[in-house]
């Protein structure tokens, strides 16, 4: 049953490896590995370096997310059940898609529209925001600050706020990616990401101090 359950994930993980094998003979010795914010190539390396892309993105993500419930000292993640499995699936899917996108871009030596990645990340934020409040206190995923890990009430309140922020941020990023140019969209994406990362941390500290006073 375990293998049957993991099989769809394993298929998603190996897709970038299969695609890389398919295009291998068509790749030049030097391939583009980095692009600037305008989608222009600004870095090349030996094509052998492309092997690291599916290894570090799809495969490593799968290994880490599979091990986390096993090594979680409090066993909270296991209690999430199917909700954790949903998070695991979407993260692995995202990393595999990203690996395929990079490999395709290296093969074609162009990125037609960098905003495609921002749209994908926007959908990822929407999904994670929707599940944020279901994450149990743990040392591996979520808003892990000294204050959320110290107090379960602070954890719950912080993740409730973070969930709303990430969900809305994802929708905004998707919309902006569809209507704005590459440069402006990139700047706004960075600003939005910083806000949804920093605000929950500050909020967790404020909530912790309120708990101490009360």
Q: Which sign, positive or negative, has the C-alpha torsion 26, 119, 192, 110?
A: positive
pTM of the model: 0.83
Q: Which helix (H) or strand (E) holds 120?
A: helix 115-131
**Using 50, 70 and 90 to split pLDDT, how confident is the model at 38?**
low
SS3 171: helix
Three-state DSSP class for residue 82: helix
Average pLDDT, the chain: 87
Q: Is the pLDDT of residue 111 over 90?
A: no
| pLDDT of the residue at 1 | 45
The 10s digit of each residue's pLDDT in 118-173 is: 899 999 999 999 989 888 888 888 999 999 999 999 999 999 999 999 999 999 99
pLDDT band, residue 205 (cuts 50/70/90)? very high
Q: 143 near 201, Cβ under 8 Å?
A: yes
Nearest-10 crossing angle of helices 115-131, 152-179: 150
Tell me: pLDDT of 34 over 90.
no
pLDDT at 207 over 90: yes
Closest CA to 209 of 165, 133, 153, 144: 153
Domain chopping of the chain, boundaries = 1-112, 115-214
């Amino acid at each position: 049953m375990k293998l049957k359950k993991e099989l769809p994930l394993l298929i998603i993980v190996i897709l970038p490896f299969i695609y890389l094998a398919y295009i291998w003979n068509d790749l030049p010795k030097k391939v583009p590995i980095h692009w600037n914010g305008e989608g222009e190539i600004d870095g090349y390396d030996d094509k052998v370096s492309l092997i690291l892309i599916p290894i570090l993105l799809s495969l490593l993500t799968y290994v880490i997310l599979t091990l986390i419930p096993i090594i979680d000292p409090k066993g909270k993640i296991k209690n999430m059940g199917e909700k954790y499995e949903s998070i695991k699936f979407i993260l692995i899917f995202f990393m595999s898609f990203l690996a395929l996108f990079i490999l395709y871009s290296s093969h074609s030596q162009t990125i037609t529209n960098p905003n495609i990645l921002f749209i994908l990340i926007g959908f990822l934020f929407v999904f994670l925001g929707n599940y944020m409040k279901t994450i149990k206190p743990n040392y591996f995923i979520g808003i892990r600050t000294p204050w959320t890990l110290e107090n379960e009430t602070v954890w719950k309140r912080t993740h409730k706020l973070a969930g709303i922020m990430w969900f809305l941020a994802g929708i905004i990023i998707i919309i902006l990616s569809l209507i704005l140019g590459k440069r402006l969209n990139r700047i706004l994406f960075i600003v939005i990401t910083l806000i949804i990362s920093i605000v929950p941390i500050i909020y967790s500290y404020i909530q912790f101090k309120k708990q101490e006073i009360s």
